[in-house]
Structure 1
Amino acid sequence: MNSINPNLSNDAELLQHMEQGSKHAFNVLYEKYWSQTYSNAYKRLKDDDQAKDVVQEIFTHIWLKKETLHIDNLPAYLNIAVRNRVFKLIEKQKLIHPFFDTLETMPAMYLQADANLLWKEFFRSYEALLTTLPPQRQLIFRLRFQEDLPTKNIATQLGLCRKTVQNQLGKAIEQLRISLLQLLTVLITLLSATAN
């Protein structure tokens, strides 16, 4: 039996009904905890879209895995789930953002002729690396990290859904991550040598 008293606020009972497949029980829990979970994610990310995505992913995961999760304390579970997903997201972005921060500040830091040659050489290698990406993925990557456009705007501009843009970015980052960091390390080493 999946009929539930609409005034029921007992999480344990709702979770039990949800495990048995009650969409209504899930919706009650979703309504009850959405704001709190969003607020928790937003506090960490300071980005409305990303925070909403994190919350959506967590609740989708709960529903899809309802029969095997067996959650005892939903607020505690949500708190840990937000923390883990935010960490994952930040780790992914941290690998790329410092790279572009460095790209922006380097020309100003190293103005001598040797460094400029190294810089040009580096940029050629970087561009060659980007062209190894499939055309659409390359465009999305450039719009996000070189034009600094949010994924929402990129999706609108390219007529894609945000999820597609995010998936393509994730794949581009995976593909480029190691090569970009190696390139950057080589450049910093060479520039340090020419600066001394």
Structure 2
Amino acid sequence: MVLDERADHDLLIDIRNDDKSSFQELFERYWEMLFRFCNSILEDEDHCQDIIQEIFTDLWQRRRILHIKNVKAFLFQAVRNKVAKHIRHIKLKRKHLEAIAKLSEVGLSADTIYELKELEHTIDEHLKILPSRCYRIFRLSRFENYSNKEIAQQLDISIRTVETQISRATKLLRASLKPELLVIVVLLFYYFF
């Protein structure tokens, strides 16, 4: 066990120095194990393959800034986080579909539904002027239903930083949207997000 951890550690050092063969070796060492774990929860082979691919892609992209003590634990935690995100996403989709069904029951016209989509686009355009990190945090919080703690863990930042970034995005929306649009946004977030 200690030898495996040491070998993993050596691979990480090489990966940090852009060694693609070490990255490939790490990928081959853990891919099947991670896939089986993921599939035991989701029972969706295609999506599990995507999840594992995303994890390794992220590892490669962040290779110089990640400080990993135990590769196996890190990778399994990454799978757990991605699976939880996928499950939340499915629940959120279901929630949105239920909300659309409720809106349909209320008798919203196609024009009104189109206007709501336009409003969502307008909100997103206003948010895109934020720094990318702030934008990402706000989207994770308000559109993907992540808790502040989950966002902090995923992005390796403090919960206070998450709160500050969400507050910053909210202030921007308040300042940039017309008052009547702001009321609609608040209602949308309250009832649908």
TM-score by length of 1: 0.51
1:62-81 maps to which residues of 2 (within 5 A)? 62-81=59-78
1:1-12 maps to which residues of 2 (within 5 A)? 10-12=7-9
Per-residue deviation, residues 11-67 of structure 1 (Å, max 9, x unmatched): 222222222221111100101111111222222322223212211111011112222
1:35 is aligned, of 9, 32, 36, to 32
Counterpart of 1:34, as a letter, is: W
Number of aligned pairs? 131
Per-residue deviation, residues 57-100 of structure 1 (Å, max 9, x unmatched): 11011112222213221111111111112222322332221332
Partner of 2:107: 120
The structure having more radius of gyration, on CA atoms, is 1
Residue 53 (str. 1) matches residue 40 (str. 2): no
Report if aligned partners of 2:95, 2:192 keep a CA contact under 8 Å in 1.
Answer: no
- Counterpart-to-counterpart distance in 2, 1:133 and 1:181: 11
Counterpart of 2:62, as a letter, is: K
Structure 2 portions without partners, runs of 5+: 1-5, 122-138, 145-184
1:87 is aligned, of 84, 88, 113, to 84
Structure 1 portions without partners, runs of 5+: 1-8, 107-115, 135-169, 186-196
TM-score by length of 2: 0.52
Identity %: 28
Aligned residue for 2:60, secondary structure, equals: helix
